[in-house]
Chains A and B, each alone.
Chain A
Amino acid sequence: MAKIGKIARRSFLIGSAAIAGGVAFGVYQVRKEAPNPLIAGEGEATLTPYILINQDGITIIAPRAEMGQGVHTTLAALVAEELDAAWDDITVLHGPPAQAYYNQALLGLALPFRHYADSDFQHNLRQSVGMVGKLLNLQITGGSTSTRDAYERMRHAGASAREALKLAAAARLSQPVGTMRTENSRVIAQNGTEIAYTDLAEDLRDITPPDTDLRDRKLWKYLGTSMPRTDMVGKSTGTAQYATDIQLDGMKFATVRINPRRNGMISYDATEARAMPGVDTVIDLDDGIAVVASNTWLAMRAAEAVAINWEDATYPSDTETLRGAIGASLDGPADSTTRDDGDVTATRPGTEINASYSVPFLAHSTMEPMTATARFTGDRLEVWVGTQAPVLVRDKCAEAVGLAPEQVIVHTTLLGGGFGRRSEFDFPVQAARIAQSLPGAPIRMTWTREEDMRHDFYRPAAMARFRGIVADGKAQLVDGRIAAPSVTHSSAMRMMGSVPPGPDRGHVEGAADQPYAIPDFRITGHLTELDMPLGFWRSVGNSFNGFFFDTFIDELAHAADADPLQFRLDMAQAEHAPSAGVIAAVGEMSNWGADTPTNIGRGVGFTYSFGTPVAEVVEVEDTGNGIRINKCWIACDVGTALDPGIIEAQMISGAIYGFSAAMQGEITFRDGEVEQYNFYDYDALRMHNTPDFTVQIRETNPHMGGVGEPGTPPAMAALGNALFNLTGTRARELPLINTFDLIL
């Protein structure tokens, strides 16, 4: 396939063009404010920061990382739709670190609104606050924002490029531009003359692409349908390239062994390791060592042979103490009160329910352990890495090796899973430092699975306490307290060295922002001061609050003697129609309320997160040989469904990620070290215990929602609610395997 060769060549061109400033054809507003990082080579045109046309074809630059969520395909479809490019003619590449690729939608999430109450005023305000993202170089893939961020920008890029191509063709043919039309990567003149876009690359150099209106949705050909993913052939033939697959002449292979207590080294002795076969060198990384060898496995063996005296952890050394600290903050004063409807201190008639919940630390455990490839040549550093945050990687690597950011080139490869883990910069910085100690030699660094499991930035353990009152079959009052160490603070300190001002909304998302009308409704956040390695884990705060809040809603429904699905529906109907819509839909899909055998249990779960309401019904079966999940029905409302096949895959993926964590995910600490090592003690769903799924995608939401994360939070709650329905036992702690005999 000729395309593979082209990809490699174009990667190089764009990689080397990174940063150096803009030529080319300005169009859309964003480009005017941030320089185009693409430099046109001989016979090429970089029409916008998103499109490169040369004689070989049309390349679309995706500003977001492809980590499995299909973002390259959907972002390319946004451009191709307006560009009238034939789908087979397109190649998609990751963009270099550049201001032009900042994520406007991500920062908008920080504004103090209930996101479901999204009036146009609030929507526009969020968009403009999002512009600050450009100043912060917020080129980050996260928060389920990629498509929302790109939806207008990338269609505009395609539209103005199309108009530029028409102008070029009109000039060449000396015919009025108004008589030109475009189709299948060609400009077609009134007399039928066709000119391929690739033949117009040279002509484009003197043309400023005009601004133009976007097409009406009724005219869409690609958007709204399931497109063949641009990465699918590579991923089905072993030819897709991850950071761990980069091959360069003279390559050496490295691994690291870092302090499992996340501190420094007191001393180490590498005498034995240095004498082992294939070993080139052992490098001191301050918080651990790296071994460079002629083969990755030889490096891993030698790393084990280094005798290291580690410093102790700076955080409490065992799970019990950590949980104690979180429990203590639950009793302490609130750091935030971001939902406070009515008056929860008033005396209300009805039945009072009190419940406490607890969830453990979780690892991301991407299939590809942390890997990066780097080459240092004195005044230049090149890094190949699967990253959700290329600008951050560039700047942190530059700092680590004493270069300016513009001397560092970051090539973003495909990510072997992200889930938030690859928004961190620890591993590319290690590769950069190893490369610096062996100038000229390309270094491919691969962590062991054990290193990966024990050096994650974990989803924090969290606890909650809820008080509620039900009367007349309805929730009258909900007062919830949520305690955990702050993911936002932990990551902000690593990335920026300071904590952002204002209440930590991420800490209470999935509870405080739920679209339910409850007369007295308060959620307070309680932050636990712990200096822990914590990070963004698929759905972030929703990952624990979704379980806490929706499980408590289920408890209230039972206390009110109401049908759990109808109970949620009643509260959502009064507050947010799209949310009510998904709850009703999942009821219809699952034939909710139908009689089931006694060995079958069903539960419903609902969470509104990342702009998308998702309701899930889970059916569990007591097989007599353990409990299994039989079925899962999912209804989501994404507003505008750009690629139904990808959205369906993400909803199922998110639910499986949630089920895996809810059933058995648990990271524990002893002597400051994580006690889990590999997939044998931190496992996930597999083929035999994955249920059948049915997904319905709805489009009544007035604004587009995300799809990568919203499937995860309700899955955890729905499973627990189904197990309650089956067994009568209410699990208020995860993982559920500690309470139920689940088939693993």
Chain B
Amino acid sequence: MPTTLTINGQSHDIDLPDDVPLLWVLRDAIGLTGTKFGCGVAACGACTVQIDGEAVRSCQVALADVWGAVTTIEGLGTPVNMATLQQVWVDHQVAQCGYCQSGQIMNAAALLAQTPDPTDQDIDDAMQGNLCRCGTYPRIRAAIKDAAQRLQEA
């Protein structure tokens, strides 16, 4: 029997075994490839999405265990209508290879929702699970601080 998920506000019927991780449901069954596979063991954060606003590693959540509405990078904003955080990422020219950035942005979005004015320590604590082999961390940190300011002024 298909499982029904709400993803970026849309309902999807998924015909896959219960234990398939949400990551692979998103990427292969629905075609939302903005969410990336990096490690499969929650060690890199490339697959980070939000479930009911909480940042989760989608490689560790089985299809049957998805407990709420899923938001992916595609649901945060689009190239013609970017979320503030995505616009800040562009303004700070954060990405290099870019492969980890969907996960970085989804994690940062959850951080800012919970902690609108994060300290360096807050950023360290929240973001250290997200690996970037290009080393974009200094610009990620600057972008998060800038986004916090812009979101508070908005």
Contacts and interface: CB of A to CB of B under 8 A. Distances in A.
Contacts of A652: 135, 138
B139 A649 contact: yes
Contacts of A300: 40
Contacts of B132: 367
Contact of A415 (B80, B97, B101, B130): B97
A448 B39 CA distance: 7
Given A1-B79, A679-B39, A237 B96 contact: no
B17 interface: yes
A666 B136 CA distance: 22
A367 B100 CA distance: 7
Given A367-B38, A449-B38, A237 B99 contact: no
B16 A295 contact: yes
Contact of B98 (A295, A414, A656, A687): A414
Contact of B127 (A226, A687, A692): A687
Interface residues of A, number: 68
Contacts of A687: 123-124, 127-128, 130, 137, 140-141
Nearest to B140: A687
Interface in A668-708: 678-680, 683-688, 690, 692-693
A297 interface: yes
Interface stretch (A62-70, A207-215, A432-440, A597-605): A62-70
Interface stretch (A227-235, A341-349, A563-571): A227-235
A368 interface: yes
Contacts of B73: 237-238
A653 B90 CA distance: 18
Contacts of A657: 133, 135
A653 B128 contact: no
A240 B41 CA distance: 24
Nearest to A69: B96
A124 B143 CA distance: 44
A731 to B, nearest CB: 22
B42 to A, nearest CB: 9
A656 B97 contact: no
Contacts of B136: 649, 653
B46 interface: yes
A67 B97 contact: yes
Contacts of A678: 39-41, 43
B contact face: mostly helix, strand, loop, or mixed: loop
A693 B89 contact: no
Contacts of B17: 277-278, 298
B9 to A, nearest CB: 16
Contacts of B131: 367, 679, 683-684, 686
A244 interface: yes
Interface in B131-154: 131-141
A660 B89 CA distance: 24
Interface in B17-72: 17, 20-21, 23-24, 27-29, 31-41, 43-44, 46, 72
B98 A240 contact: yes
B43 A679 contact: yes
B105 interface: yes
Among B38, B82, B130, residue most surrounded by chain A Cβ atoms (within 10 Å): B38
Among B76, B80, B129, B138, residue most surrounded by chain A Cβ atoms (within 10 Å): B138
Interface string A231-258: 1111111111110110100000100000
B122 to A, nearest CB: 11
A365 interface: yes
A239 B97 contact: no
B135 A367 contact: no
Given A238-B35, A449-B39, A365 B124 contact: no
Interface of B: 16-17, 20-21, 23-24, 27-29, 31-41, 43-44, 46, 72-74, 76-80, 82, 86, 89-90, 93-102, 105, 123-125, 127-141
9 contacts: A235-B98, A238-B73, A239-B74, A367-B36, A368-B38, A417-B99, A684-B131, A687-B123, A687-B130
Given A68-B134, A69-B96, A253-B28, 7 more contacts: A296-B27, A296-B37, A368-B36, A416-B36, A449-B39, A678-B39, A684-B131
